[in-house]
Amino acid sequence: MADLLSLIQKRQSTRFPFNPNRPVAKEDILKILEAARWSPTAHNMQNFNLIVVDDKKLLASIANIKRPISETFIRENYLQLSFSVEELLSKKTGLLGTMFPPSWRNPDFRLDPNEKEIDSSMQRPFPFCPLMLIVVYDPTKRAPASEGDFLGALSLGCVMENMWLMANSLDIAFHIISSLSSDNAEKEVKNILQIPDNLKIAFSCRLGYSVPASAEYLRIRRDINDFASHNKFGLNDLLD
């Protein structure tokens, strides 16, 4: 297994198509599920269930669900974008605008002529994958004394990270799909996979092997002294 810190540093979301002729081996799926199993969760509630989807017809049905991007996403996402490498290196947070279609880089985007639907680039199916994991939870089961179930959401994030790192340690590419959790898309996914009504989709993941090998893109993080204080907030001397 790869060195843990190196694995964390190289982890990335792979948004490209995956090899249709290379399925993820069952033993590797079980390792990823075992990593999920041992995720830390608030009060050991283990507040998640997973649906492993590798049936090609089911995958095609899910991939073709319309997932329109909301105006709120476009406008708020725009605030996180940099439009040059130099700008991103200076800000140290956010993403390069070139990672998104042109219509996603404009906070004043226009609707199509009939003004009822957002343009087609905002509804495109996601790239092929041989495997998906759909993570669901019961929103009525809150972690004790956790307003808004913050601790429950934190636990689901731990599940995501454990699976992601395990997948990458096995050279399996990983891509989080959050749009299947939106109301209309979630309803269709639940219908396709016969998910009970009381459960909500927390997040979904595409897994597989990139074709070609996963492309590198600029990844930037703040320096330790940009976010860590020593003994008192704002005292940044850990790297001195």
CB 74 within 8 A of CB 109: yes
Q: Name which CATH class applies to 21-67+127-209.
A: alpha beta
Q: Which helix (H) or strand (E) holds 19?
A: none
Is the pLDDT at 12 greater than 70, yes or no?
Answer: yes
Burial (CB count <10 Å: 0-12, 13-18, 19+), residue 189: buried
- Predicted TM-score of the model (pTM): 0.88
Among 59, 66, 12, smallest CA distance to 179 is for: 66
pLDDT band of 115, cuts 50, 70, 90: very low
Q: Is the pLDDT of residue 197 over 80?
A: yes
Percent of the chain's residues with pLDDT above 90: 62
Nearest to 42 by CA among 160, 157, 136, 204: 157
